[in-house]
Each structure stands twice: as structure tokens, then as C-alpha cells.
């Protein structure tokens, strides 16, 4: 047993973030034959956990989930940070690198409050603050009303129970990691596209820390890592932010990735979809797919994507 931790993992304090950090620690200990004490979990309170009454686009976007951990990482107070990759900004500081992507979990969303999107009662209020979910819902069901609802998994489930909305969506992977595998109805991700990088846990470290990068490399899942890089490259090409309605799903066949993507007008009236398949290491194909989507988008949609400039 080491006298002191061999690696310090920073994480947000939310229950889901802590569950993800425990998974990361378990995988590191298993890969290296360590005792649990070799990996110290260092919780921080992220800005996004402090302000939950407004959409995150209004108060700092995805940086709400990474800012504090980035500071601690660059200051050397932690050796690596555990993130939900769908919440990590597309463009990262050069001093920070993705050291590992853990094996990706279920990419699907789950619907709470109805058996399917088609069976949500007419005129119902559906709670979500995610532009992708709102636009995708309104595209299929323009008769529904979207109401803003934020907070961690337990908070959103409680708000639904309290009647603040008639239905809501949560990520299947997050529910599974919290032991809520029986909650909600799973939506087929081929039909209801998830968020880019959904269901992926990432471990970031300082780019110049060879020791830590080597340690993290032992738990990196190459196929999941390739999917995440492709989906993040798509986001880069679209100029997507947390306020851009973007949905994407990738699947692997051998060494190839099949990537389906859609962008929407915020009100869901316009949907532009396309797909591509390419070798896992191809960094250009996702950019080409982004350009194809933007080229097909009317100005009223393209204005929501920085890649259209």
C-alpha cells in the first residue's frame, strides 16, 4: 500500500460525477494492480453546480463544468480530472490533454413520464434545458411545450415528481451509473440521436506530464476514444456550443466509424441530417460532414453555428 496516492483525480461533487470518478479509480487500480488508496479522489464544486436556475448558455456554457478542474489541474493540485465528455468544451487549452476515454456506456436517452415520445399527451409540458432535446422533441411533436429544467439527475427526477413538467429526458448512461437502470423508457438512439460524446467518461491531464499520461493510457479504450474524437471534431467543424441544437451517433465496424448527425433550428421546424463513414484515424471526414450539414442549412439555422462563418 503506498504511503501517499500515486495519482490524484479531480472530480465535481455531484452524485453522478462521483460515481464516474469511482469508476475511473476502479479501472486504474485494476489495470495497475493498485490498492484503492493509490488513487485519491479530490472533489471540487463546479460553477455549473452552483447556479441551476438558468440555462447554462446564459452563464458560461460548458466551461461551467470544467473551469475549476482546469485551474486545479494546471496548478498541480490534481494530476488528472474526470469529466463527462459531452460537457467538455470542444477547443481545449494546449496545456491539457485527453489522457484516456473509458469504455463508452449506453449512448441513448431515456424518457421519463411517458412510454414513448408519440405517447406524451397532447399539449404536455416537457422539461429540458438541452437545445438538442428541445429541438428534436419539437420537430417530432410541435404540439408540446418545452419548459426549462436543470439540476442533477435526482433534482430533475424530483422536479418531474413535483409536477414542474409532465415528462423529461435523462441520459441512460447516467441513470445506469447511479443504479437507476429501471427508470424511464429507453429511446432508440438511431431514431432519437444523442448528444455528441454522450455516455463517455474522459480523463484529462497536463500535456507535459508523461508519467500521468502513461498511467492513464492503461485504461484508455481505443474504440471509444476514436468515436469521441470524431464527434468532437464534428462539433469543431460546426462551431457548436451548448446553445447549438446538435445530435450525433457513431458506431464502429472494425476500424471504421459510421457517424450520423443532425442539426436543427431551435424551434425544431428545420432538421438537416447527413452521415459519413471513415477510417477511425481520419480527422478530416468529420469536418467534411459538418460542412455538408452547414451547406444544406438555411441562414436561419446556420446562424446558430459558428462553423458557418
DSSP-H helix ranges across 151-304? 153-161, 172-177, 210-217, 222-238, 285-296, 299-302
Which residue from 171, 177, 202, 168 is spatially nearest to 189, judged by alpha carbons? 171
HSE at residue 127, side-chain half, CA atoms within 13 A, is 21
Positions marked active-site = 87
pLDDT in tens, 71-96: 999 999 999 999 999 999 999 999 99
What CATH class does 109-186 carry?
Answer: alpha beta
- Please check whether the two domains, 109-186 and 234-308, share a CATH topology: no
- The predicted model gives 56-61 an average pLDDT of 47
The grid coordinates of residue 213 equal 499520461
Query: d(Cα 216, Cα 205) in Å, to the nearest integer?
Result: 9
pLDDT in tens, 252-307: 999 999 999 999 999 999 999 999 999 999 999 999 999 999 999 999 899 999 87
pLDDT in tens, 31-41: 999 999 999 99
pTM: 0.91
pLDDT in tens, 100-128: 999 999 999 999 999 999 999 999 999 99
Q: Give residue limits of the domains in the chain.
A: 7-102+200-220, 109-186, 234-308
What is the architecture, at CATH level 2, of domain 234-308?
2-Layer Sandwich (3.30)
Phi-psi region of 151 (alpha: psi -120 to 50; beta: other; left: phi over 0): left
* Rg, C-alpha atoms of the chain: 19
Q: Which residues of 153-191 are buried (b: 16+ CB within 10 A; e: fewer)?
A: beebbebbeeeebbbbbbbbbbbbbbebeeebeebebee
pLDDT in tens, 176-212: 999 998 899 999 999 999 999 999 999 999 999 999 9
CATH topology of domain 7-102+200-220: D-Maltodextrin-Binding Protein; domain 2 (3.40.190)
Amino acid at each position: 500500500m503506498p504511503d501517499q496516492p500515486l495519482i490524484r483525480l479531480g472530480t465535481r461533487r455531484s452524485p453522478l460525477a462521483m460515481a464516474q470518478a469511482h469508476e475511473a479509480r476502479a479501472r486504474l487500480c485494476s489495470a495497475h494492480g493498485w490498492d484503492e488508496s493509490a488513487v485519491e479522489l479530490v472533489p471540487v464544486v463546479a460553477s455549473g453546480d452552483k447556479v441551476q436556475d438558468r440555462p447554462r448558455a446564459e452563464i458560461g456554457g460548458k466551461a461551467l463544468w470544467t473551469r475549476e478542474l482546469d485551474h486545479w489541474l494546471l496548478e498541480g493540485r490534481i494530476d488528472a480530472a474526470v469529466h463527462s465528455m459531452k460537457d467538455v468544451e470542444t477547443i481545449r487549452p494546449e496545456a491539457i490533454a485527453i489522457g484516456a476515454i473509458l469504455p463508452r456506456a449506453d449512448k441513448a436517452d431515456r424518457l421519463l413520464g411517458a412510454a414513448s415520445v408519440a405517447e406524451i399527451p397532447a399539449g404536455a409540458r416537457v422539461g429540458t434545458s438541452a437545445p438538442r432535446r428541445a429541438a428534436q422533441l419539437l420537430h417530432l411533436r410541435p404540439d408540446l411545450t418545452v419548459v426549462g429544467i436543470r439540476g442533477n439527475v435526482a433534482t430533475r427526477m424530483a422536479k418531474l415528481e413535483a409536477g414542474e413538467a409532465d415528462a423529461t429526458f435523462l441520459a441512460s448512461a447516467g441513470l445506469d451509473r447511479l443504479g437507476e437502470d429501471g427508470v424511464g423508457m429507453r429511446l432508440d438512439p438511431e431514431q432519437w440521436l444523442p448528444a455528441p460524446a454522450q455516455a463517455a467518461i474522459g480523463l484529462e491531464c497536463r500535456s507535459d506530464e508523461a508519467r500521468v499520461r502513461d498511467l492513464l493510457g492503461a485504461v484508455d479504450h481505443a474504440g471509444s476514444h476514436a468515436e469521441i474524437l470524431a464527434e468532437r471534431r464534428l462539433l469543431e467543424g460546426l462551431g457548436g456550443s451548448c446553445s447549438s441544437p446538435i445530435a450525433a451517433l457513431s458506431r464502429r465496424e472494425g476500424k471504421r466509424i459510421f457517424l450520423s448527425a443532425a442539426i436543427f433550428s431551435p424551434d425544431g421546424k428545420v432538421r438537416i441530417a447527413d452521415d459519413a463513414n471513415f477510417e477511425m484515424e481520419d480527422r478530416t471526414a468529420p469536418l467534411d460532414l459538418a460542412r455538408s450539414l452547414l451547406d444544406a442549412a438555411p441562414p436561419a439555422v446556420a446562424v446558430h453555428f459558428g462553423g458557418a462563418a
